Amino acid sequence: MGTWASLDAMWDLPAEKWIFWAVLLFSWTVYLWETFLAQRQRRIYKTTTRVPPELEQIMDSETFEKSRLYQLDKSTFSFWSGLYSEVEGTFILLFGGIPYLWRLSGRFCGYVGFGPEYEIIQSLVFLLLATLFSALTGLPWSLYNTFVIEEKHGFNHQTLDFFMKDAIKKFVVTQCILLPVSSLLLYIIKIGGDYFFIYAWLFTLVVSLVLVTIYADYIAPLFDKFTPLPEGKLKQEIEVMAKNIDFPLTKVYVVEGSKRSSHSNAYFYGFFKNKRIVLFDTLLEEYSVLNKGIQEDSGMEPRNDGEGDSEEIKAKVKNKKQGCKNEEVLAVLGHELGHWKLGHTVKNIIISQMNSFLCFFLFAVLIGQKELFAAFGFYDSQPTLIGLLIIFQFIFSPYNEVLSFCLTVLSRRFEFQADAFARKLGKAKDLYSALIKLNKDNLGFPVSDWLFSMWHYSHPPLLERLQALKSAKQD
């Protein structure tokens, strides 16, 4: 009888209790699934201690071991940081952290004469306190990742003073964007009437396009130094390649990423006839700080005749030289420009905006359900910002997981297509060697569990990309 009574009591729970426990259960289900996948991949790191036969031609045993140990350390860090994040989120929900922070925001507003009717002001205080809490609780993890893991494996180039100033600057810049945009969005939702979701969607579309347009010109330079790529053979060849595929290139920049890390990257940005290309200095062999350091450590200037250098110095340069040659940089850019030529960028924007519109529409449908607010401790009020948080972060979480997986699958397809585009430009051989170098420079581990890679990898595994390019090289 006691068991049946307990079941009856459970079924008699109010709707808000069902919503709360369903959200918490799903959160832990996702966490356990991610942990299961991570442990499968971790087993690969632990057991694959020798270079597999199919990789012997592209990776030496020393680099393979370095990448294995690096990924093991990252895996351990990810486990503990992920566990902390999940436990922290659970405690916040169980002990009413969200309604407490909302009430605290209201008290702060009251101190300066703003009552409950100033909901948007209270929402901005809530956002400021929430992001400050997130920054402070995440700081120890970020410090450990940068100054222990990245430092240990030779990637970190930051000092503690630089790191802290950078973190403060990021927080301030984020607030300067987040708070005005949020206030306008909340205002639009308040005055938009029955079709507010259309106006809210259009507003977020305009904001996202503006941010993409101004990011590299006005926001990114606050953190990194951008300099035009000097005149020379590389710039000329980039301009020729862009012209051949009708890419409306206006400028090419080199960003000083080496002051933070030795990881490398390249990207393009801009709309319509105003496209720019950005290359990390760590991607360019002749710009890499590490390569300059090798020359300084040797105590020798590079010789034009190629003679007189000791075997030790030659071996050091061979083993540690970072970045890609000009032909390989062009191949990497051929891949990136392939994303533009094949319409991948536009397709991603369309998918993103369709999803955004759907979410705002569903938000308009659900915002009137008081049970959603009551489930998270808001019994007497239904603040718009809290509604956005509850619906977008918690209620939509199953949909977001499915969407994320689908986008990961689509991204891998786009990567293969961009590789094929570079191949059509005659860059297969150079892209092949560039991928190997970039994997080595970033200590990527080339062996992966199939389920882990299927769920997480937005780029195909290295071997799959090389096999596709190798067949093209042979053809």
Query: Catalytic amino acids?
Result: 336, 419
- Between the alpha carbon of residue 101 and those of residues 138, 187, 244, 394, the distances in Å are 18, 21, 56, 17
Q: Which two tokens stand for residue 445?
A: 């581990």
CA distance 375 to 390: 9
One DSSP character per residue, 47-103 reads H--S--GGGTTT--HHHHHHHHHHHHHHHHHHHHHHHHHHHHHHHHHHTTHHHHHHH
Determine how β-strand 249-255 pairs with β-strand 226-228: antiparallel
Note whether 419 and 469 are within 8 A (CB).
yes
Give every CB contact of residue 103 below 8 A, 6+ residues apart in sequence: none
13 phi/psi in degrees, rounded to 5: -60, 140
Quick check: helix, strand or coil at residue 214? helix
Strand partners, 304: none
- For the chain, what percentages of helix, strand and coil (3-state, to nearest 5) are there? 75, 5, 20
Give me the helix-helix angle, 428-441 and 462-474, nearest 10°: 160
339 is in an annotated binding site: yes
Residue 415 in marked binding region: yes
CA dihedral defined by 377, 382, 388, 394, rounded to 10 degrees? 30
Q: Are 241 and 334 in contact (CB under 8 A)?
A: yes
Q: Compute how many other C-beta atoms are within 10 angstroms of the C-beta atom of residue 76.
A: 14
Instruction: Check residue 395 and report its DSSP letter.
Output: I
The reply to whether 256 sits in an annotated binding site is no
Q: What's CA 247's distance to the chain center, in Å?
A: 26
Residues tagged in the binding site annotation for Zn(2+) = 335, 339, 415
Output the known binding site.
335, 339, 415
